Structure 1
Amino acid sequence: MEEIKYIKGDATSPQGKGVKVIVHICNNIGGWGKGFVLAISKRWKEPEANYRKWHRERAKNDFELGNVQIVQVEKYIHIVNLIGQQGIKTGSKGVPVRYEAIEAGLEKVALFAIENEASVHMPRIGCGLAGGKWNQIEPLIEKTLLAQDIQVTVYDFD
């Protein structure tokens, strides 16, 4: 089984050869404007535009917790908008992160990665504004991606 490779750097500049998939967590209310999404939007316009359209047309599509939207932004780079966050604020139901939704989304990412012989790259998803704990996210990555021998690199921004 593969192990997560941890490096210091920017997840929007994924390291390595071949097809690369950058995964990040989105909320289920159509909000895009804080956290890692700002770094994505600075480099590429398509992920935000596609996410907003997906949300706007949600009555006719699969915009819900646990689903993913894969957006090709360069010849060898795809961005995964993974809906793994209930709203944007901590409330009576706790922090916004939804671990079961992240797991479901990562299962979909694994299928895409296998089909495209892609490596997966990400910041510490779900641990910023979503309020999640890495010690609960890491096992989900092991179960969904590493168990399928998919290379995973996690970036800690300086």
Structure 2
Amino acid sequence: MGEMISYLKGDASAPQGKGVKVIAHVCNDLGGWGKGFVLALSKRWPEPERAFRKWHRERAGNDFGLGAVQLVQVEPYVWVANLVGQRGIRTSRSQGVPVRYEAIDAALGRLAPQALALGASVHMPRIGCGLAGGRWDRVEPLVAARLGGAGLRVTVYDFD
């Protein structure tokens, strides 16, 4: 199962390799964008944050919510996938973690056909495992099943 996933040291916001690339990351359902991996994305491109905030602002009339995906083109061969896989944000230790594995699963399932249609490989940090508080041993099988199982090549980046 894991042969579709390769691990690299590096920055997922600067994906390596040739061809069309989709950078996938997890966002919260509050429309907040201000900490963690999103800062690396925003340093490179203003579009993912702008698109995400608009998507959230206009949520009454669109599909925004847990498990949804928004694909934003940032360069001719690079797209960013905003995956809504986090319920709220963590404000205290006692609250439990904001990650929602079933939402990440649903979002990856929605991303797979879109990435295939683009002929893209998928690049990501260990999604859901930073501020969302998730565990990679719970997320990795979802990535393997939804993306790897669809025949997509996935590279996971560990920031040095």
Indicate the TM-score class for this superposition, using the shorter chain for normalisation.
Answer: over 0.9
SS of the equivalent of 2:32 reads coil
With normalisation by structure 2, the TM-score equals: 0.95
Aligned mates of 1:145, 1:23 — CA distance in 2? 11
Aligned mates of 1:51, 1:92 — CA distance in 2? 28
Counting aligned pairs with the same residue, the percent is 66
- CA change 1:63–1:91 in 2 (3 A) is farther
| Structure 2 counterpart of 1:20 | 21
Aligned mates of 1:113, 1:67 — CA distance in 2? 14
| Structure 2 counterpart of 1:128 | 130
Aligned mates of 1:91, 1:54 — CA distance in 2? 29
Tell me if structure 1 keeps the 8 A contact 2:4–2:152. no
1:38-77 C-alpha deviation (Å, 9 max, x unpaired): 0000000000000000111111111100001000000000
Structure 2 residue 96 is matched with structure 1 residue 94:
yes
SS of the equivalent of 1:112 reads helix
> Runs of 4 or more off by more than 3 Å in structure 1?
90-93
RMSD (CA atoms)? 1.3
Aligned mates of 1:146, 1:19 — CA distance in 2? 17
Tell me if structure 1 keeps the 8 A contact 2:29–2:84. yes
SS of the equivalent of 1:96 reads coil
Q: Which segments of 5 or more consecutive residues in structure 1 lack a partner in the other structure?
A: none
Residue type at the aligned position of 1:115 = A
Q: Which segments of 5 or more consecutive residues in structure 2 lack a partner in the other structure?
A: none
With normalisation by structure 1, the TM-score equals: 0.96
1:59-113 C-alpha deviation (Å, 9 max, x unpaired): 1111100001000000000000000000001577621000000001001111111
Tell me if structure 1 keeps the 8 A contact 2:99–2:134. yes
In the TM superposition, 1:60-139 aligns within 5 A as 60-89=61-90, 94-139=96-141
Structure 2 residue 142 is matched with structure 1 residue 151:
no
Aligned mates of 2:17, 2:38 — CA distance in 1? 22
Residue type at the aligned position of 1:48 = E
Residue type at the aligned position of 1:47 = P
